[in-house]
Amino acid sequence: MARRRRKKSLKPKRPRHPSRYFQCPRCGSMTLTIDFVKIKGNEEEKMAIAKCGNCHLYCELKVPKVLDRVDVYNKIVDLSYDNKLNECEKTQEEIETEETSETEEEADAEQ
């Protein structure tokens, strides 16, 4: 006599999420990350910040709130193909000078 077959239990499939790292349009390495920052007083837009860990590309874009990392990456690639990537790019020195000027403005406003 043969045994009765048991029904196989299926494990639930985990959903695949897009990768956090993208290919940098400038240097070609897979080190480009995109983060989002909320803009105070603006409910419809957010600031997307793209950084490359290899060539130190830094790009800030204002995008609608409905866009995801992949959509922002496509915008950055489109800018690089049109040779307009320098418009959104800032160097680390410019970022530091902006931060110091903002802190000075806040100190002046408090006095």
Tell me the backbone φ, ψ of residue 74, rounded to 5 degrees.
-65, -35
pLDDT greater than 60 at residue 5: yes
What span, in angstroms and rounded, lies between the C-alpha atoms of 47 and 79? 16
What span, in angstroms and rounded, lies between the C-alpha atoms of 49 and 75? 12
Q: What's the confidence (pLDDT) of residue 21?
A: 94
Q: What's the confidence (pLDDT) of residue 111?
A: 58
> What are the pLDDT digits (tens) for 75-99?
999 999 998 888 777 644 555 566 5
> What are the pLDDT digits (tens) for 19-30?
889 999 988 999
The continuous run of DSSP H or E covering 94 comes out as helix 92-110
What span, in angstroms and rounded, lies between the C-alpha atoms of 111 and 107? 7
> What are the pLDDT digits (tens) for 29-65?
999 999 999 988 888 999 999 999 998 889 998 999 9
Q: What's the confidence (pLDDT) of residue 6?
A: 83
Q: What's the confidence (pLDDT) of residue 76?
A: 93
